[in-house]
Amino acid sequence: MTEPAPVMASGVDNERLNAQLRFILEVDKLKRVLRQNLLVDGSRRENSAEHSWHLALSARTFAEYAPEGTDIDRAAEMLLIHDIVEIDAGDTFLFDPVNTETQDERERAAADRLFPLLPEDQAARARELWDEFEARLTPEARFARAVDRLAPMLANWHNEGGAWVRFGVTKAQVLEKVKLVSEGSEALGAYATALIDDADRRGYFKG
């Protein structure tokens, strides 16, 4: 773990500040975690840090398509932290049947290590938001998951099938994931379904 430079700032709780600095330095590692999806322009693979930022911005942009009463700030905050666990667990490709079997175990172990780097109150909130995102029991979590599922579909469509083509993904496999989009947003779910139908017509799926 990277240690922060020694801090003796006047008028602040230096122990708290140093804990916050340790966390921020540690999560910088998320920039090194590469995902299977390419950027929309196809120039390189996306990393998990920029993925998280893009999703948080997407949640705010698509706020009008969330269920009425959804706390968009909370959904965006979930998206900013939801993949921090990949620092330890790595990115698990959605259609990888082997690694998805151990994904929950690996990611929970990572959450147990990473969030407690924060001061106790901030650690508790971060873990609460992460657990809420994983459980998908609130409108905020379901909307956040909808945005998370839609993003790679957009990237793959713009890359002429992208990871779908590289890994021989079928239309049925992707449509199964569209259910998560529809659970969080009827409008985004309808768009995702139309996008997959068009991708199928273009021959982006196996079979």
- Residue 34 is classified by DSSP as E
What is the residue extent of each domain of the chain? 15-201
Burial of 9 per CB tally in 10 Å (0-12, 13-18, 19+): exposed
Q: Say how far apart CA 146 and CA 192 lie, in whole Å.
A: 10
The kind and range of the H/E element at 17 are helix 14-27
Q: What is the pLDDT, as a whole number, of residue 11?
A: 80
* Residue 95 CA: distances (Å) to CA of 33, 39, 111, 166: 18, 18, 23, 11
Query: Of 137, 138, 110, nearest to 126 (Cα)?
Result: 110
**What is the predicted pLDDT for the residue at 206?**
95
Q: Which amino acid is residue 157, in one-letter code?
A: W
A 10 A CB-CB count for 117 gives: 19
State how far the alpha carbon of 81 is from the alpha carbons of 123, 129, 144, 197, in Å: 11, 8, 11, 32
Rounded to two decimals, the pTM is 0.94
- 74, 83 contact by CB (below 8 A): no
Residue 7: what pLDDT?
63
pLDDT score of 207: 81
Task: Per residue of the chain (207 residues), give pLDDT as tens.
Answer: 677 766 666 788 899 999 999 999 999 999 999 999 999 999 999 999 999 999 999 999 999 999 999 999 999 999 999 999 999 999 999 999 898 999 999 999 999 999 999 999 999 999 999 999 999 999 999 999 999 999 999 999 999 999 999 999 999 999 999 999 999 999 999 999 999 999 999 999 998
Rounded CA-CA distance 174/177 in Å is 5
Furthest C-alpha separation in the chain: 65
Pick the CATH number of 15-201 from 3.40.50.410, 1.10.3210.10, 3.30.360.10, 3.40.50.300: 1.10.3210.10
Tokens of 151: 């993003």
Token look-up 């924060």 returns: 118
Q: Supply the pLDDT for residue 8.
A: 67
pLDDT at position 6 is: 66
